[in-house]
Amino acid sequence: MSRISIVIPMYNEARHIARTLLAAQRAGNVAGLECELIVVDNGSQDQGPEIARQSGAQVLVVPGVLIGALRNRGTAAATGDWLAFIDADIEMPEDWLSQLFDIEATGQADIFGLDLHTPAAAPWYATAWQRRTLRPTTHAHYVVDWLPSSNLLMLRRWFDKVGGFDENLRTGEDKEFTLRLREHGARLLAINKSVALHWGYEMNWREWMGKELWRQGSHLQLLRTHGFSLR
- What are the pLDDT digits (tens) for 59-86? 999 999 999 999 999 999 999 999 999 9
Nearest residue to 88 (alpha-carbon basis) of 146, 27, 37, 34? 37
Note the pLDDT of residue 231. Answer: 36
Do the beta carbons of residue 167 and residue 116 sit within 8 Å? no
- What are the pLDDT digits (tens) for 155-192? 999 999 999 999 999 888 999 999 999 999 999 999 98
Q: Is the pLDDT of residue 229 over 50?
A: no
| The model's pTM | 0.86
Do the beta carbons of residue 199 and residue 87 sit within 8 Å? no
DSSP 175-214: HHHHHHHHHTTPPEEEEEEEEEEE----SSHHHHHHHHHH
Alpha carbon distance 159, 154 (integer Å): 8
The residue type at 106 = T
Query: Which three-class secondary structure state does DSSP give residue 10?
Result: strand
What is the distance in angstroms between the CA of the first residue and the CA of the last residue of the chain?
A: 41
